[in-house]
């Protein structure tokens, strides 16, 4: 067994903190949102972390998610839940992207998406804090990750998804042990059902950012990037943004690493990528607003970023602005073209949301927002194998004469 999962785990968590007001909460109690209805952030004694762990010591550990245990919230080794969360590779795409473009391919994680990062941490903490039943709204991949990890540790799970969620995602959720229901609405409509059930005491609400720990799992993307880049961060990150947990988490990770003295104050420009058919963060960014109004009639082939309203909108916008980045919207035709180009020209099959980041990068390059000499990371948030692909209807009759030239 990986020694990252069996080693003693001193906990450096001090408290939880409201992301808007700074109000402190006890880290050893079960919490949802803060009193003002905003996400809670986990805080650590970073001086103690620095005294207990060096970058050199970290480099001797297996390169998985749990190598970062001093910067993660799980207090007890017995509460760790794992399906083998690897450090995901950085894949060059020199033809479809450029010489300095790397894709962090999150499709290599358990259940095939980056949702595994957030859900493994959230489920482990739910286990630690005594939760026995969880409900969640999902566009697909988060529900699959929740079902897998919750089933692994015996937590009952109910998942609600929009009725047009891809069939493979719905079946995956059910196959891994959750009760899954299709709802005639969007993900925030599903979230309203989850919220009502939670207020009635039927389950704990695992909606994005409505518990504190998914951010902590997602922030490992930022921790890994720092290590993979030799503690010198890239110039820009393009991140597919629905609920935005990963973007918020990476920004938090960079702050913690700087306070540890492991990186400098240099930050990547953070680009929150949305589909033009559902772009509330883009609209708020361009209007100079701190919060994003709900996007009506949301539609896009990139289901994972079809999120009409995000509870952490102000945290996304804050990170984007502080970094000198932008919120960018791209249309479905550009997304499909990017997916096709990357697959055919570089051999990497992106999911639609990953395709959105390549499409956004190309547009940013065209407008001069980024330079081709800059080091850029695009996030492919799930394996492209989960998504519909164009038909390939060619057949060959082995009994008939074969025109080998035509082949």
CATH code of the domain occupying 90-112+213-386? 3.40.50.1100
In this model, does residue 4 exceed pLDDT 80? Answer: no
Query: Rounded CA gap, 329 and 216, in Å?
Result: 27
Residue that has been written with the tokens 């358990």 in this structure: 110
Q: Write the DSSP assignment of 141-165 as a string of letters.
A: HHHHHHHHHHHHHT-EEEEEEETTS
Confidence (pTM) = 0.95
Q: Is 193 exposed, middle or buried (0-12, 13-18, 19+ CB in 10 A)?
A: middle
Number of helices (H) and strands (E), helices first, in the chain? 14, 13
- With beta carbons less than 8 A apart as the criterion, state whether 261 and 55 touch: no
pLDDT value, residue 8: 55
SS3 label, residue 318: helix
Query: Rounded CA gap, 83 and 148, in Å?
Result: 9
Q: What does the DSSP 8-state code read for residue 89? A: P
Question: What's the mean pLDDT in 127-134?
Answer: 97
Q: What count of other Cβ atoms lies within 10 Å of the Cβ of residue 386?
A: 19
Query: Rounded CA gap, 92 and 380, in Å?
Result: 12
Q: Which of 279, 265, 401 is nearest to 330 (CA)?
A: 279
Q: Give the chain's length.
A: 407
What are the tens digits of pLDDT across the range 343-368? 999 999 999 999 999 999 999 999 99
Q: Which of 362, 376, 352, 392 is nearest to 107 (CA)?
A: 352
What are the tens digits of pLDDT across the range 15-31? 999 999 999 999 999 99
Q: Write the DSSP assignment of 11-70 as a string of letters.
A: --EEEEEETTT--EE-TTS---S-TTS--EEEEE-HHHHHHH--HHHHHTS-SBGGGGGG
Question: What's the mean pLDDT in 44-64?
Answer: 96
Q: Which of 65, 179, 171 is nearest to 116 (CA)?
A: 65
pLDDT value, residue 3: 63
Dihedral (CA of 253, 88, 242, 285) sign: positive
90-112+213-386 and 115-205 agree in CATH topology: yes
Across 69-126, where does the E strand assignment appear?
90-92, 101-105
Q: Which of 211, 109, 112, 193 is nearest to 155 (CA)?
A: 211
CB burial of 320-353 (b: ≥16 within 10 Å; e: otherwise) equals: beebebbbbbbbbebbbbbbbbbbeebebbbbbb
Q: Write the DSSP assignment of 207-238 as a string of letters.
A: -TTSSSSHHHHHTHHHHHHHHHTTT---SEEE
CATH of 115-205, one of 3.40.190.10, 1.10.10.410, 3.40.50.300, 3.40.50.1100: 3.40.50.1100
- With beta carbons less than 8 A apart as the criterion, state whether 90 and 104 touch: yes
In this model, does residue 296 exceed pLDDT 70? Answer: yes
What are the tens digits of pLDDT across the range 261-273? 999 999 999 999 9
Model confidence at 49, pLDDT cuts 50, 70, 90, reads very high
pLDDT value, residue 118: 97
CB burial of 5-41 (b: ≥16 within 10 Å; e: otherwise) equals: beeebebbbebbbbbeeeeebebeeeebbbeeebbbb
pLDDT value, residue 1: 52
Query: Rounded CA gap, 215 and 250, in Å?
Result: 9
pLDDT value, residue 48: 97
SS3 label, residue 263: coil
Q: Encoding tokens for residue 264?
A: 């400098």
Model confidence at 11, pLDDT cuts 50, 70, 90, reads confident
What are the tens digits of pLDDT across the range 171-220? 999 999 999 999 999 999 999 999 999 999 999 999 999 999 999 999 99
In this model, does residue 299 exceed pLDDT 90? Answer: yes
In this model, does residue 123 exceed pLDDT 80? Answer: yes
Report domain extents, the chain: 3-79, 90-112+213-386, 115-205
pLDDT value, residue 5: 65
Question: What's the mean pLDDT in 327-335?
Answer: 98
What are the tens digits of pLDDT across the range 364-402? 999 999 999 999 999 999 999 999 898 999 999 999 999
DSSP bridge pairs for 180: 159
Q: What does the DSSP 8-state code read for residue 139? A: S
């Amino acid at each position: 067994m990986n020694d990252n999962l069996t080693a003693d785990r001193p906990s450096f968590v001090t408290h939880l903190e409201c992301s808007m007001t700074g109000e402190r909460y006890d880290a050893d109690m079960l919490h949802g949102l803060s009193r003002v209805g905003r996400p809670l952030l986990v805080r650590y004694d970073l001086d103690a972390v620095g005294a207990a762990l060096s970058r050199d010591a970290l480099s001797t550990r297996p390169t998985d998610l749990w190598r970062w245990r001093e910067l993660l919230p799980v207090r007890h080794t017995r509460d760790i839940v794992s399906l083998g969360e690897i450090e995901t590779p950085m894949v060059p795409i020199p033809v479809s992207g450029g010489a300095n473009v790397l894709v962090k391919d999150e499709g290599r994680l358990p259940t095939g998406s980056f949702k595994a990062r957030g859900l493994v941490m959230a489920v482990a903490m739910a286990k630690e804090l005594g939760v026995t039943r969880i409900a969640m709204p999902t566009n697909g991949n988060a529900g699959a990750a929740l079902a897998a990890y919750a089933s692994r540790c015996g937590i009952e799970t109910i998942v609600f998804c929009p009725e047009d969620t891809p069939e493979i995602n719905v079946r995956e959720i059910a196959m891994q042990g959750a009760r899954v229901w299709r709802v005639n609405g969007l993900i925030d409509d599903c979230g309203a059902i989850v919220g009502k059930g939670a207020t009635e005491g039927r389950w704990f609400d695992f909606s994005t950012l409505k518990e504190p720990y998914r951010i902590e799992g997602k922030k490992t993307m930022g921790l890994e990037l720092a290590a993979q880049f030799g503690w010198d961060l890239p110039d820009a990150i393009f991140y597919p943004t629905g609920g935005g947990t990963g973007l918020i988490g990476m920004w938090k990770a960079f702050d913690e690493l700087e306070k540890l003295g492991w990186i400098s104050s240099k930050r990547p420009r953070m680009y929150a990528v949305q589909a033009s058919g559902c772009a509330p963060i883009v609209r708020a960014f361009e209007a100079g607003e701190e919060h994003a109004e709900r996007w009506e009639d949301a539609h896009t082939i990139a289901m994972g970023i079809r999120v009409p309203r995000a509870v952490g909108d102000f945290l996304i916008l804050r990170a984007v602005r502080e970094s000198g980045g932008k919120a960018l919207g791209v249309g479905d035709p550009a997304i499909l073209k990017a997916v096709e180009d990357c697959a055919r020209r570089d051999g990497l099959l992106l999911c639609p949301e990953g395709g959105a980041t390549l499409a956004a990068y190309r547009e940013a390059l065209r407008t001069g927002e980024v330079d081709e000499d800059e080091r850029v990371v695009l996030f492919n948030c799930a394996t492209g194998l989960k998504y519909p692909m164009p038909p390939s209807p060619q057949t060959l009759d082995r009994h008939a004469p074969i025109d080998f030239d035509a082949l």
